[in-house]
A and B are shown apart, each in its own frame.
Chain A
Amino acid sequence: MIELTDLTKRYGKTLAVDRLNLSVAPGEIFGFIGPNGAGKTTTIRMMGGTLSPTAGAVVIDGIDMAARPEEAKRRIGFIPDRPFLYEKLTGMEFMRFSADLYGVGDGTFLQKAEELLRTFGLFDWSHDLIEAYSHGMKQRLVISAALLHNPRVIVVDEPMVGLDPAAIKMVKDILKDLARRGTAVFMSTHTLSVAEDLCDRIGIIHRGALIALGTTRELKRLAQAQQADLEEVFLKLTEEQTLS
Chain B
Amino acid sequence: MSSDSAGNLVEVRGLCKVFPTGGGNKVHAVEHVDLDIAPQETLAVVGESGCGKSTLAHLVMRLLEPTAGSIMLDGVDIGSLKRRELRQHRRKAQIIFQDPFASLDPRRPVGQAVAEPLLVHGVARGADADDIVAELFTLVGLTPSMMRQYPHQFSGGQRQRICIARALTLEPKLVVADEAVSALDVSIQAQVINLMMELQRDLGLSYLFISHDLAVVERVSHRVAVMYLGQIVEIGPRSAIFENPQHSYTKRLLDAVPIADPRQRRERPLISGEIPSPVWAPGTSPERVELVEVDTGHFAARED
The reply to whether chain A is a binding partner of chain B is no
Binding site for A on B (CB under 8 A): none
